[in-house]
Chain A
Amino acid sequence: MESHRGRIASLEPVTLPLFHPTEDPGPSFASLLRSVGQGPVDLPADASDKLEITHGTTVVAVKYADGVVIAGDRRATSGNLISHRTMKKVFAADRWSGVAIAGAAGPAIEMVKLFQLQLEHYEKVEGHTLSLEGKANQLSGMVRNHLPAAMQGMAVVPIFAGYDRKRDKGRLWAFDVTGGRYEEEDHVVSGSGSLHAGTVIKLGQRAGMTRDEVVELVIQSLFQAADADSATGGPDSMRGIFPIVATITADGFTELAEAEVSERFDAVVDAIAVRHGGSTTSDSVGD
Chain B
Amino acid sequence: MNMPFYVAPEQLMKDRADYAQKGIARGRSLVAIECADGILICAENPSRNLRKVSEIYDRIAFAGVGKYNEYDQLRIAGVRHADLKGFNYSRDDVDAQALANQYAQILGQVFTHDAKPMEVEILVAEVGTEQSGDRLFHIRYDGSVSDETLVTVLGGDAEAIRGRLDGAVQADMGLGAALRAAIDALAGPDRGLTVDEIEVAVLDRDGDGRRFRRLENGDITSLLA
Spell out A's residues near B (CB within 8 Å). 1, 11-12, 14-18, 29, 32-33, 36, 38, 113-114, 117, 120-121, 124-125, 127
Contacts and interface: CB of A to CB of B under 8 A. Distances in A.
B88 A124 contact: no
Nearest to A94: B210
Interface residues on B, range: 20 to 34
B56 A124 contact: yes
Nearest to A124: B79
A29 B83 CA distance: 8
A15 B83 contact: no
A125 B79 contact: yes
A1 B210 CA distance: 30
A121 B79 contact: yes
B77 interface: yes
B56 A18 contact: no
A162 to B, nearest CB: 18
Interface of B: 51, 54-56, 73, 76-81, 83-89, 98-99, 102-103, 105-106, 109, 210
B88 A17 contact: no
Contacts of B76: 125
Contacts of A125: 76, 79-80
Contacts of A17: 77, 80-81, 84
Contacts of A121: 79-80, 83
23 contacts: A1-B106, A14-B85, A14-B88, A14-B98, A15-B102, A16-B106, A17-B80, A17-B84, A18-B73, A18-B77, A32-B80, A32-B84, A33-B84, A33-B87, A36-B84, A113-B87, A114-B87, A117-B87, A120-B210, A124-B55, A124-B83, A125-B80, A127-B51
A14 B106 contact: no
Contacts of A1: 106, 109
A121 B75 CA distance: 12
A124 B61 CA distance: 11
B106 A18 contact: yes
A38 B78 CA distance: 18
A121 B85 CA distance: 12
Contacts of A14: 81, 84-85, 88, 98
Contact of B102 (A16, A33, A127): A16
Contacts of A120: 83, 210
